[in-house]
Structure 1
C-alpha cells in the first residue's frame, strides 16, 4: 500500500486528496508556485516543495520539477488530481520510469483517449455510438470548411486535445467559420500545445451525460452510474448532479454498458469518465446518446457520484494504484438518493462571467444549520485569488433523499455565501437552481444562454439590503443598537424601527439615506429586516442572497472615472494582450473586434461600443495590463455636416 503521496496539483483538489490520504494513514507532500506559497493546500500537507514561478507553464506543468520534488521527499507515488499534467501520457510514463507509482491509468490508455479524433475512431470499433462529424487528419482550412458544409450548420469546432471548455467554438453560419477556427486553434495551442481540431454536428437539444467508470489491474471494470452535467456556460460546467433527471432503467443500462465497453477497449485502470452528448428533444433515449470523449482522470464533479454510492473514489484510486482489486463488484453498487454540486467561481456574471481576482478579505461559506452540505475548497478568508489559475473558489455539494430536497438545500447554501470584494457567482447559482425548467428536469446545455435575462443577475443591491444598510446608518450615533438585537432590546428600540418625520395634517415623511457602494450611490428608506451583516473596516458588509455589498454613507465628490459610455475600452481583468486588430486613427464599426485579452486561460475579445475612430492606442500584443486600465478609446467620427 502507498505510504507517502505527492499531489501534483493545487487548490481544492489537492486538499480533497489529502483528506482521504490522511484518513488512510498516507503521508502527503504538496508542491507550490510563488503565487501559492501561503495557500491552504500547502499548509494542509505534511511537507511542501516549491517548484517555481507563478505561471503554470513554469511550475505545475513542468514534470521534471515535480518528479524531482518526489525524489527529494521520498514518496511512493504521485497523484495528478485533475487538469495540469493529469492526462499527460509522457508525464505518466516519466513517473513510472522514475520508479514511482502513478495514480492513474496506464500511459497507453491516456494516449488512446487523449486525442478526441483517435478516441472517436476507437469507440466506433468498440461498438460505442459516436456523434456525427469529421475527425480526419486533413487539417487544412479548405477541408475543414468543406466538411462543415457537409455536416450542416450549426457545427461545433473542438480541439482534439481539449478539455474544460477551452478550444471549443459553436459556429452558426459559414461566414463565421474561418474566424472561429482561427480563435479555436489559437486557444488550443496556448492551452494544450496542439492546435488540431475536429468537427461535430451541433445537437439542437443537447444534454451532457457522463458515466463514472473504474478499472483495476486484474481486468475488472465497473461503472458507478451517470451524472448530468448539462448546465454550462462557455462550455464550462456549473452545476452537476447524479443520477440524471429523467433517466429510465433501460436507458441507464444501455449508456452504462457502453461506458464499460469503452473502458475495456483501452484496458483501463483507475478512475475515468466517459462523456456522452444526448439529443433530448424526445427525452433521454439510448438511441439518441453519443460518445463525445473520455477523461482519463478524476473529474471535478466526482463528489456527486461519491454521495449517491457511498464510495470514496480517491481511496479507490490509491488502492487500485497499489495493486489491489476493486473494492466492490458491479452488483454491490447502487444509487441512494440524489446529489447536486454547484461550482462557486470567482467571476462576475453581470460582466459576461469575466474572472475576478484579488484578496478574499471576507469569505464565509459555512452551510446553514438546517441545510448541511459538503464544501470542497482550497481557499479561506484572506487568501488570494490569482489570475494564473482556474477561478473556482469552492464546490458546494448536497445529498438528499429526493432531487427536490437537494435543490432546496443547495439554494439555501448559495444564498448564504459571503464573499467580498472578489466577485462571485453565488446569486447566479441560486437563480439557476430556482429556474422552472431546471427544476422540472427540462435543461439542456443551452439553458443558461437561453434564459440569460432572468438567470444572470445584475450587481444591483436589493431594496431589502439597501433598507437594512440605511437603517443601520440612520441609527448609528443615535442609539447603540447591535446588528442583531435580543428580544429584550426589541421593545427599547421600537421607536427607531420605522423612522419617520411626524407632521400634523400631513402624511408621515420617511427618512431617506444616501448610501455609497464603491462609486455607486443609492437613496434608500430605512427598513429593519434582519439581513445578515457585519461591520468591517471598509463599512457595513451586507449579505444579499448570494451577493455581498459593503456600504458607507455617500459622499458627493464624483470620481469621473472612464467608462464604456464615453468610448473607453477598459481591461475587465488583469491579463495579457495577445492580439491587437486595429491601429491608431483607424475607423471601426460597432461590435468590431479591437483586441483580444487572455486571462485565466481564456480569450476575451474587446469590441467597439459604437462606430468611430480609434484613439489613444498604447498597447501592443504581448503587453500585460491591469484591471480597469484604459487600453484605447473609440471616438465618434467627425460629422460631414
Structure 2
C-alpha cells in the first residue's frame, strides 16, 4: 500500500516542489515551519502545517521535533529534501524506529557516502578512478606531509569528511597557506556539519564538474538518467547547471556513466543518488581523464534540468521507490527511459549584492514585487511573493529558473535562459540576475570553454 501522508522536513522552494509531487500522486503533504517562517509560502501550499519550536536552522534540525510533528499529523513517511537532515543517517534510523518511512537511500548508504573518505575507498575497490589522496580524517601534520608528497606537481584540496555543497573546502597551492586553510575548513565544517574532520586529495586546477543521476529500486536494479554539467561555480558553490553536459565526447560520457553505475551496483544502492566526477581540462593527465569525488545521497538542487530533458519526475520516482515500487511499476525500466532531448539550463537566483571588489554580500528585506518568468520551456521553482519578508537565518537561494529547449543546439537553450532572466521582476531586495546574465552572455559560456574556476 502506498503512502497516505508525507511530512516534508524542509522549507523554501524544495519543500513546495516535494509537496506538489506528493499531491500529484494523491498523497497528502504536511509542512513544518519554524517560528520565523510563519509567513513562508511552503506552509500555505501544504495540505496541513505543523509549527516547530525554535527559530532558524536549529528548528529544522530537531529530529525529535520533526518526528513528533509527523506522528501528530499521522504521516507514514518523511521527505527530507536537501540540506538540513537529508543525508543524516541517525535521522533515517530514528524514522525507522518510529515506524516512519524515510524517503531516500538506506541508512547504510547514507553512512557510506556521508564519509567522503570511505566513498573514495569504495570507488577504488571497483576500479573507478580517484585522485591521489588520503581516504580518512587527517591531522594538520598529515595534510602537510601529503602536500609535500606531491612534489609541487599539483596543489591540494582540503575537504570536510562529512561535507558537501562546497562548504569546508579549500584549494591550497602554497605550502605556507596549509595551516590557515586547514583551520578555516575545520571551522566551516564544524558549523555546517557538526564535524570538523577533514581529508585531502590532489587538486585539479582546471577541471569540469560532471555528475550522474542514479536511481536504485529495492530489488537491486540500478538505472541512470544521464549526466549534468555543474562547472559554473563560485567558491565551490554551483550557480548554473546544465543537462546534458555540452561538448562532452560520447566515449567520455559513456565511461563516466559506466563508472557511476559500477559504483552504485557494487553497494546495491537504493533510491536517488548523484555520483560526482571531475574531468581534467588541459592538465598533465593524458586524454580526457575523469575522477570520482563524491556521492550525494539525496535530492539535488539541480535535479530539475534532468527532469526537463528526460521527462521523468524525479521526486515522484523517489516517493514511489520508497513505497516499494519497481522500475517497471513506475515506467523506468530500460526501454522506457528516453534519451535526453535538447538542453536544459538552471540558474540559481540568490539574494545577494555584488560589491565593487568582487565579493558577495547576502541581501534581504521585503519583496515589493515578485513576478516570475514563464512561456514555452520555462519553469520557476521559488518561494517568494509580494509582501514576503526574507529571513537572514537561511540560505540565500530565492528561486531557480529552469529552461528547456528541444533543439540540439546549446545556444538555443542559452537564449531562452537569457530571455527568462530578463523577464524576472524582483523589487525590494538585491538579487544576482545581472551577474547570471553576464555569465550566460560570455563567449566562453556559449562555446562551453569553461571549468570550475572560470568564474
TM-score, with structure 2 as normaliser: 0.95
In structure 1, the residue matched to 2:174 is 173
Q: How does 1:77-156 map to 2 (within 5 A)?
A: 77-137=77-137, 139-151=138-150, 152=152, 153-156=154-157
Take 2:182 and 2:189, find their aligned partners in 1: how far apart are those partners?
A: 10
Take 1:80 and 1:55, find their aligned partners in 2: how far apart are those partners?
A: 16
Which has the larger displacement, 84-93 or 19-28? 19-28
Distance apart, 1:136 and its partner CA: 3.5
* 2:385 equivalent among 380, 383, 388: 380
In structure 1, the residue matched to 2:209 is 208
In structure 1, the residue matched to 2:415 is 408
Distance apart, 1:384 and its partner CA: 2.0
In structure 1, the residue matched to 2:295 is 294
Take 1:141 and 1:244, find their aligned partners in 2: how far apart are those partners?
A: 37
Q: Which runs of 4+ in 1 moved over 4 A?
A: 282-287
1:191 matched to 2:196: no
Distance 1:286 1:117, change over 3 A: farther
Q: How does 1:472-483 map to 2 (within 5 A)?
A: none
8 A contact 1:157–1:198 mirrored in 2 = yes
* 2:336 equivalent among 329, 332, 335: 332
Question: 5+ unaligned residues in a row in structure 1: which ranges?
Answer: 449-641
Quick check: which has more Rg, 1 or 2?
A: 1
Alpha-carbon deviations, 1:437-465, whole Å to 9, x = none? 111011101111xxxxxxxxxxxxxxxxx
Q: Secondary structure at the match of 1:259?
A: helix
8 A contact 2:208–2:450 mirrored in 1 = yes
In structure 2, the residue matched to 1:549 is none
TM-score, with structure 1 as normaliser: 0.68
* 2:352 equivalent among 334, 347, 357: 347
Take 1:286 and 1:19, find their aligned partners in 2: how far apart are those partners?
A: 44
Alpha-carbon deviations, 1:130-153, whole Å to 9, x = none? 12222344x322221111221345
- The size of the alignment, in residue pairs, is 444
Distance 1:180 1:295, change over 3 A: same
Alpha-carbon deviations, 1:2-49, whole Å to 9, x = none? 111100000000000111111111101000001111111000001111
In structure 2, the residue matched to 1:64 is 64
Q: Secondary structure at the match of 1:53?
A: coil
Distance apart, 1:202 and its partner CA: 1.3
Take 1:415 and 1:348, find their aligned partners in 2: how far apart are those partners?
A: 18
Q: How does 1:601-640 map to 2 (within 5 A)?
A: none
In structure 2, the residue matched to 1:47 is 48
Take 1:216 and 1:31, find their aligned partners in 2: how far apart are those partners?
A: 28
Which has the larger displacement, 280-289 or 17-26? 280-289
8 A contact 1:346–1:385 mirrored in 2 = no
Q: Secondary structure at the match of 2:421?
A: helix
In structure 2, the residue matched to 1:251 is 252
Q: Which has the higher contact order (CA 8 A, sep 6+)?
A: 2
Distance apart, 1:265 and its partner CA: 2.3
Q: Secondary structure at the match of 2:341?
A: coil
In structure 2, the residue matched to 1:225 is 226
Higher strand share: 1
8 A contact 1:254–1:286 mirrored in 2 = no
Take 1:255 and 1:306, find their aligned partners in 2: how far apart are those partners?
A: 20
Alpha-carbon deviations, 1:470-529, whole Å to 9, x = none? xxxxxxxxxxxxxxxxxxxxxxxxxxxxxxxxxxxxxxxxxxxxxxxxxxxxxxxxxxxx
8 A contact 2:33–2:43 mirrored in 1 = yes
Q: Secondary structure at the match of 2:52?
A: strand
* 1:358 equivalent among 331, 356, 365: 365
1:424 matched to 2:431: yes
Q: Secondary structure at the match of 2:347?
A: strand
Distance 1:133 1:11, change over 3 A: same
Q: Secondary structure at the match of 2:208?
A: strand
In structure 2, the residue matched to 1:595 is none
Take 1:3 and 1:251, find their aligned partners in 2: how far apart are those partners?
A: 43
RMSD value, Cα = 1.6
Which has the larger displacement, 343-352 or 424-433? 343-352
